[in-house]
Structures are given as structure tokens and as C-alpha cells.
Amino acid sequence: MGPGIAASAALAGHDVVLADCDPARAAGGVDLAAAHIRQLVDGGLVAAEDGRWARARIRSETTIKQALAGAFWVIEAITENLAVKQALFRTLEENTGRDVILTSNTSGLRISDIVRDVKWRDRTATTHFWFPSHLVPLVEIVMGEGTDEAVAVRLREILQGWGKAPVIVRKDLPGQLANRVLQAVIREATAIVESGLASAEDVDTAIKMGMGLRFPAWGPLEHVDTVGLELCVSVQNNVLPGLCNEPRAVPLFDRLIAEGNTGAKAGKGFHDWSARSHADLVAQRDRFLMQALHFLGRGHPAAVGSDDGCRGAPVPCKSTSN
């Protein structure tokens, strides 16, 4: 996630430091950020000259004080381990000025818990970039229990300048906003497979070729308003009683994991990956996302010339993803 965030920031005109204690990972993060920029150039979303300027704005550091020097915003994107994140935020607070914004890219932890030991919690928030972060516009800005609203608004303004689509989430709950919706979809999708109602292939096809295809231009609540609330209430009252409402993952997950079928990395999960290429699927996803960005008019801002004097955020490149 870190390299994708770094690419987006550099394309918006910021100097960016990718920080990692391992020199090889730090350098690898810069290389991956450069590869993301090349992908955007090749996809026609970024001009070649802008891509060269953006690449020149990204460097790596392995020493925290050097990485933080001059930063106005620090984005943490390390492993999803609460204790490790808490320790890093204590270090960040000790090595940054009072006005530096500190955010986490966590996908599931509460920012209020992550910054529990931070003195100035008003300058902290979650900025959850969606994977792949250089292609997906959504960023969830989650306000913790101590977050100053002015900080959330400032983050939204910055991210809009990056060409992102930031949303402010005003309650610090597990799953934030969009991931709560996604987990509800996954729960029902897996329950459908477990019940024998449809195969995994047909579930994915139904979502991709139906609701998923129109979601970029037609949100679920826009759909409700269009068909009318009366009809929606009638359908919900008829359908909801039969939907899965288990407070945990459906048992099919446990059976597949016990069999060693843990997904693409194992060659099989809900799908048999020995019969199809996961790499081809990822490439197809990226091509579709770039075409969608063209259609939505969400190209990245130009990176040519000097910015307003702000140095970009050190972005640790050891990361998690959605």
C-alpha cells in the first residue's frame, strides 16, 4: 500500500519519503512506486513528463529522524498489529512537530486504539486508501475519538487535490465505512455458495456483471431513491428475513482452510486457481480500473513544477491491503 500511496502523493506534486527499517524493502518500495507511475503513464492517465517528475520526488530512508525531517503529514502503513502500530505512533509523536498530521492506513483497527498513548490525538486520524491505492480513488478519513474536525477537513482537501474521492467517517467503528458494506456482501456471497443456491463462479459473475458494473455511476442509495422507498421497503421486508445474519464467518471458510484451500496463494479457495491465472485476473482488474478512471474523468493531477513548499509524508512501505 505504501508505494501506491507514495505514487499518488508524488503525482500531486509532493516530495515523498518511503521509510522502512530494512534498506532493501525501502528501496524496493521506491521501485514499486515507480512501477505504479509507469502503469499510469502507459494507461494514458498521466503524461510521461509528469511521470518523470513524480518519480524524481520519491526517495527512501531507513532512519526515522531523517525520514520525518520537514514532513507535514505522516501516513503509517505497516503491519496490522495494534501493539506495533501503537509503538510507532509514540515514536512519530516524539519526532514530529505539533502541527504535523499523523494518520494510519489501517483497514480494520480503530485509530482511537492505535493512538491511545499519543498526547495530541487531535492531529490523528485514519486515512484508509483502498487497494490498489494508485488506481482506486476512495480514501476513508476516519475520525477517532480525539480527532479535530478541522484536521479531517484538511485531509479531505489535500486528498481531493490528489484526484482522490475522500469520504469522512465520523464514528470510529471496526470496518470503517466501505469495508462494512464489503463484509456484508462477502458474508451473503459465501452463504449463498454454502447453501448450494449458486456456485462461486456464478456468484462472482452476478455481482461483477450486475450491481458491481453500475456501482461507479449508481450508488445503492441513489438506486433506492430512483425505484422509490415504498418499493424498497417492500423488497427488504420480503428478502431480509432469509439473508445470512451470522455474527461470524460462515462455516465454509473453516472447512476450506482446514483442507489447505486458503485461496490463490494455495492454488485453490472458492475458485480452482490451477485452472485459471490469478495474474491475468489482476491485470484485467487493473485495466478495467484505468478505463473506469478515464470514463469518470479521474486522471491524476500534474506533477510538473514545484509545489507549495510542503514536503510530502514519509510513508512506510511495509503494508497491508484490501
127 and 62 within one domain: yes
3: left (phi over 0), alpha (psi -120 to 50) or beta: alpha
In a domain, 90, yes or no: yes
Task: Assess contact for 74 and 99: CB atoms under 8 A.
Answer: no
In a domain, 155, yes or no: yes
220 and 94 within one domain: no
Q: How confident is the model at residue 32 (pLDDT cuts 50, 70, 90)?
A: very high
Question: Mean pLDDT across the chain, nearest whole number?
Answer: 92
- Model pTM score: 0.89
User: How many CB atoms neighbour CB 40 within 10 A?
Assistant: 23
CA distance 163 to 293: 10
162 and 194 within one domain: no
Report long-range pairs for 295-300 (Cβ below 8 Å, ≥24 apart): 295/216, 296/137, 296/216, 298/137, 298/163, 298/165, 299/45, 299/46, 299/163, 300/8, 300/11, 300/12, 300/40, 300/45, 300/46, 300/50, 300/162, 300/163
93 and 171 within one domain: yes
190 and 148 within one domain: no
In a domain, 193, yes or no: yes
192 and 149 within one domain: no
172 and 54 within one domain: yes
Beta-bridge mates of residue 165: 138
In a domain, 108, yes or no: yes
In a domain, 322, yes or no: no
203 and 68 within one domain: no
In a domain, 278, yes or no: no
Question: What CATH code is carried by the domain that includes residue 241?
Answer: 1.10.1040.10
Q: What is the pLDDT of residues 241-259, one digit of tens each?
A: 999 999 999 999 999 999 9
CA distance 74 to 102: 5
Last residue of a domain, one of 266, 287, 305: 266
Domain that holds residue 50: 2-177+297-314
Provide the domain count of the chain: 2
Question: What CATH code is carried by the domain that includes residue 60?
Answer: 3.40.50.720
In a domain, 70, yes or no: yes
Answer yes or no: is pLDDT of 298 > 90. no
223 and 127 within one domain: no
Among the residues of the chain, which ranges form H helices? 2-11, 23-42, 48-56, 64-68, 82-94, 111-114, 149-161, 178-195, 200-209, 211-214, 220-227, 229-239, 251-258, 278-296
Q: What is the pLDDT of residues 185-217, one digit of tens each?
A: 999 999 999 999 999 999 999 999 999 999 999
156 and 13 within one domain: yes
303 and 162 within one domain: yes
In a domain, 14, yes or no: yes
pLDDT at residue 299, as a whole number: 67
142 and 28 within one domain: yes
